[in-house]
Structure 1
Amino acid sequence: MPSFPPVIFLLLVFIPSVLSAPVTSLTNDYYQETCPDFSKIVREVVTTTQGPQGRTAAGILRLFFHDCFLEGCDASVLIAKDALNKSERDDEINHSLTEETFEIVTRIKTALEKSCPGVVSCADILAQSTHEAVTMIGGPSYEVKLGRKDGCESKARKVGENLPLPNHTVHEMMSLFQKKGFTLKEMVALSGAHTIGIAHCKDFICRVTGPRPDLDIDAEYAEVLKSQCKDYTVVNETRGSFFDPVTPDKFDNMYYKNLENGRGLLASDNILFKDNSTRPFVELYANNQTVFFEDFARAMEKLGMVGVKVDKNGDVRLRCDNLNKPKEAILRV
């Protein structure tokens, strides 16, 4: 049984002080004069590192969502720990973020520093690379405004209580999404990110084993999951299963069709179809991929504007995994 990269788990949380910056703060052509090859460089690196079964897209999507939760879309999730600080990526929940995905961001940053040193923020790299990764595997294109600055802190202690869990109810998830400014429909649309990626066995095995298995799950599907996760704690704890076992390498609406057929991998996936408040949106997207793509695109545009830093509220890091030293801070006003 092969090992998989971690789950692409749609996670959003709200911090009242980091609501979206004014739309006019970011622009489509922010790097037109200072780094005209920005989009081209990002696209080339993402293309050359795209792994099988949508691995690259899944990893980048998850990284982007995790970044935007706490301090807004400011690349704070990229910061590595040091002797004095445990960063966001060092919290146990974020241990599943793959080194492969962090390395992709590093490669993009290195290429951009050669072309236009000290200009492009890591936050903009994350936002643009997410768009490129999604569209490369068939997902919708959407507008990516640019001009974000990188955050100046990253604290592990802020992570845990702010992330939805695999067994959350609709009410629990919506309490986080709503505070972030998202509607119930937008929450279901963004959950469509689970059309790619995998979940680790530990996040769903209790649904198919033990004294009280989940009767909502399709019986045949449950047997497949049992087989995939057999002895995973002994053999390999990174074992897992695709969110969408039908078209795992394609961004489409199959995730919602699976929910209708009792093949939602996580309890938090299954509940979207079971709950009367979200079921109509699941059915809508299962029956109409065009509408799903349109709604997902709009929600991604909205997500990308959450809590961004501009001007002197942040800086442009020399390295995405390290905060700038005071004398290294690069400000663009």
Structure 2
Amino acid sequence: MAQLKNYLFIVFALLAVAPLCFSFKTQGGYLYPQFYDHSCPDAQEIVKSVVAKAVAREPRMAASLVRLLFHDCFVQGCDASLLLDNSGVFLSEKRSNPNRNSVRGFEVIDEIKVALEEACPLTVSCADILALAARDSTVLAGGPYWDVPLGRRDSLTASLSGSNNNIPAPNFTFPQILAKFNAVGLDLVDLVALSGAHTIGDARCTSFKQRLYNGKPDVTLNQAYASELRTRCPPSGGDHNLFVLDISSPFKFDNGYYKNILAYNGLLNSDEVLLTQSHSSMQLVKQYADNNDLFFHHFANSMINMGNISPLTANQGEIRKVCRRVNHYY
């Protein structure tokens, strides 16, 4: 009988820590893919279903939902602060220079949240919705799958200044971009792999116009490509005209982005500097251009790394009922 009790104790102890075998330690606690298995078992399927409908309506939405996670995690960590509208206490990050007239997809996040609140009230955080929507969008576009560590909670505030200062700009030099990544705990591989998200999506004329009209030809930009860009991105006006980031396969998540960079067909300055301003990043660009599987593997790992930036866990923050405002104002 004593042996049986000891055996049962060991079994229950192992079961208690089993989720931690697949978890990721953060400053605030653990994140793990099985977080909602009991509290909201259909959570991931609900997110996947809404994202699939949104991307079917508009393929560009896949890139937009991936980008939301980037712009959220680089400011205060992955806490859904980006989703908050203006309040009497703080200004929304949506008004920052990197986000204004740029980030989109908020209505899709709202739709997901409504569905989750119907299934499991006040259970699934907006921060976790962003992480899952980014993964599902990547897969729908043909990219890699990864198990998303879950258990984030939502912030009670936003940081307009943080959004203005922490998100890398499209005209940054390589050292400036790497410094922004290092500041949130990401490294060179994360930088080059995550830049591969530009294999889908669009950029506005204003994001690269300086490359076309700087007084002399940009030697890091294919001049035939530059001439084509000038037809819809004039010296003045047209700032909001959209251009695909990957001219070879704009809606397919693949390594075409890196092949474009090698041919000097990277749309943004921040794309091409991966080849021209760092030997280490150049080597990674060449490896990813040559090996799609390697790119997929590194991208999935780096998305997990980015999703682990300073999340709120345990009793920090809250689970918002509506992603656009804290519960106090609901």
- When the two structures are superposed, what TM-score results if normalisation uses the length of structure 1? 0.87
Which of the numbers 283, 287, 293 marks the counterpart of 2:286? 283
The one-letter amino acid paired with 2:80 is: A
Alignment match, 2:47:
42
Shift of 1:85: 2.4
* Contact preservation (8 Å) 2:98, 2:169: no
Aligned to 2:188: 184
* Structural mapping, 1:211-290, within 5 Å: 211-230=215-234, 233=237, 236-275=238-277, 276-290=279-293
Q: Which residue of 1 aligns with 2:35?
A: 30
Instruction: Give the Cα–Cα distance (whole angstroms) in 1 for the partners of residues 228 and 127 of structure 2.
Output: 39
For structure 2, list consecutive stretches of 5 or more residues without a partner in the other structure: 1-24
Which of 68, 71, 74 in structure 1 is aligned with 2:76? 71
The within-5 A match list for 1:96-115 is 96-99=101-104, 101-115=105-119
Q: SS of the counterpart of 1:313?
A: coil
Contact 2:244 2:250 in 1 (8 A): yes
Task: Name the count of aligned residue pairs.
Answer: 306
Moved more, 167-176 or 43-52: 43-52
Q: Does 1:136 align with 2:140?
A: yes
- 1:204 and 2:240 matched: no
What residue in structure 2 maps to residue 175 of structure 1? Answer: 179
Work out whether residues 177 and 187 of structure 1, in 8 Å CA contact, stay in contact via their aligned partners in 2.
Answer: yes
The more displaced of 204-213 and 166-175 is 204-213
Residue pair 1:53, 1:248 contacting (<8 A) in 2 also: no
* Secondary structure in structure 1 of the residue aligned to 2:98: helix
Q: Compare 23-32 and 59-68 and name the one that shifted more.
A: 23-32
**Could you list the per-position Cα deviations for residues 42-82 of structure 1 after superposition, in whole angstroms to 9, with x for gaps in the alignment?**
01100111057741111011110111011111100000013
**Residue identity opposite 1:249 in structure 2:** F
Task: Give the Cα–Cα distance (whole angstroms) in 1 for the partners of residues 236 and 114 of structure 2.
Answer: 37
SS state at 1:44 partner: helix
Partner of 2:93: 88
Question: 2 CA distance for matches of 1:145 and 1:84?
Answer: 31
Whole-Å Cα distance in 1 between the matches of residues 189 and 178 of structure 2?
10
Q: 2 CA distance for matches of 1:297 and 1:53? A: 24
CA displacement at 1:215 relative to structure 2: 2.1
Q: Is the 8 A contact 2:155 2:317 kept in 1?
A: yes
Say which of 286, 301, 309 aligns to 1:298: 301
Say if 1:268 and 1:85 are closer, same or farther in 2 by CA, change over 3 A.
same
Return the alpha-carbon distance in structure 1 between the equivalents of residues 309 and 64 of structure 2: 20
Contact 2:93 2:99 in 1 (8 A): yes
1:157 & 1:24 partners in 2: Cα distance?
Answer: 27
8 Å Cα contact 1:43/1:129 also seen in 2: yes
Deviates more, 1:220-229 or 1:48-57: 48-57
> TM-score by structure 2 length?
0.88
Q: How does 1:43-62 map to 2 (within 5 A)?
A: 43-50=48-55, 54-62=59-67
- Please say which structure displays the higher CA radius of gyration: 2
- Coordinate RMSD, CA, aligned: 2.0
| 4+ runs deviating over 6 angstroms | none
Q: Pick closer, same or farther for the CA change 1:124–1:231 going to 2, 3 Å.
A: same
Mapped to 1, the partners of 2:57 and 2:213 lie a distance apart of 29
1:116 aligns with 2:111: no
Deviations 1:126-162, CA, capped at 9 Å, x for gaps: 1111110100110101120111110111121222121
- In 2, are the aligned partners of 1:197 and 1:243 still within 8 Å (CA)? yes
